[in-house]
Amino acid sequence: MNRQYGARSRAQGRRRLLAVLAAAVILALVLGSVISAVQAQVAGDPGQGLLDQWQALFDEAAGYLRRYGIVTGDPDGNLRPLDTLTRAEAAKILVVAAGRAEAAAAWTGEAPFPDVAPEAWYAGYVATARDLGLVGGYPDGTFRPKGLITYAEMAALVARLLGVEPRPDQAWPGNYLSALSQAGLIPPELAPLVPLQANQPARRDVVMTLIHYAFREHVIDGLNYYQRNFEAVRPPAGEPAQDGTSLEDGTVE
């Protein structure tokens, strides 16, 4: 009896250990900086399946966002998934996703924030994002366009674009993260992980995956965000997106 109990206990312990290792692998892949080392340590165990699952999720996200012209990459077409994202770049992504790229490109006027020069490539995007209620300045009135956007800030942008109200019973950043999670708009693979790194600079692959999943799952009258806003204007396969702008520098390709 004791031997049976001991064997069962050891088996349960191994399962718990594998679960912890698997969670550690996906956390390191998505939010860490030691991917290759972790992969080497877990080769052949269930963690590799999570790595493959994450890669498939990102590939799907990148495909959809490219298809609809929401992201196009740098001048060479590279998405640079392991890089971080500036606040100006994030503003551009959400403005394009909102269907306001032309308005942003045609924008002229006073600087939307004192640290956003009117001639900067991102000025129109920041101004449009402000007018849409997606972004605001810091208490000192600045926007800090070259600062790195955090996961919490990115979640807030997505929530505002989709009209998801922050939870009034929670403080920042849990108010937006919880609201998105309860609405089913955060990938299950990321739901327990993003809050742990909420105030850390956001990686591009995670940002693209968060955006894509939210757009795919935000359904109104049977249509998700892509279908409501892009299906009618999607360019034919092989043709450039209507927006045609670069994620990196805002130039027309």
According to the model, what pLDDT value does residue 54 have? 81
Q: Average of pLDDT values for 77-100? A: 96
Which position has the higher pLDDT, 39 or 211?
Answer: 211
In a domain, 199, yes or no: yes
CA distance 11 to 6: 9
In a domain, 18, yes or no: no
What domain range is 176 assigned to? Answer: 52-233
pLDDT of res. 127? 97
Whether 121 and 249 have beta carbons less than 8 Å apart is answered as yes
Residue 108 covered by a domain: yes
For residues 70 and 59, give the distance between their C-alpha atoms in angstroms, rounded to a whole number: 15
φ, ψ for residue 76, nearest 5 deg: -95, 0
Task: Give a yes or no: residue 109 inside a domain.
Answer: yes
Question: Which is higher by pLDDT, 48 or 143?
Answer: 143
* Cis amide prior to 201 (ω within 30 degrees): no
- 39, pLDDT greater than 50: no
Residues 54-75 pLDDT 10s: 889 999 999 999 999 999 988 8
Please tell me the total count of domains within the chain: 1
Residue 145 falls within a domain, yes or no? yes
Q: Among 24-33, 100-109, 129-138, whose mean pLDDT is lowest? A: 24-33
For residue 125, name the pLDDT band (cuts at 50, 70, 90). Answer: very high
- Please report, to the nearest 10 degrees, the dihedral formed by the alpha carbons of residues 202, 206, 208, 213 taken in order: -130
pLDDT of 102 higher than 60: yes
Give residue 2's pLDDT.
52
Quick one: pLDDT at residue 188? 84
Output the pLDDT for position 38.
Answer: 36
Q: Cβ atoms within 10 A of the Cβ of 142, count?
A: 13
Q: Which residue has the higher pLDDT, 245 or 27?
A: 27
User: What is the pLDDT at residue 77?
Assistant: 86
Q: Greatest CA span in the chain, whole angstroms? A: 80
DSSP code at position 115 = T
> Is residue 129 pLDDT above 80, yes or no?
yes
251 inside domain = no
Q: Is residue 23 part of a domain?
A: no
pLDDT in tens, 151-201: 999 999 999 999 999 999 999 999 999 999 999 999 887 877 777 789 999
pTM: 0.74
pLDDT at 120: 96
Bigger pLDDT: 4 or 43? 4
Q: Which residue has the higher pLDDT, 30 or 57?
A: 57
Residue 17 lies in a domain: no
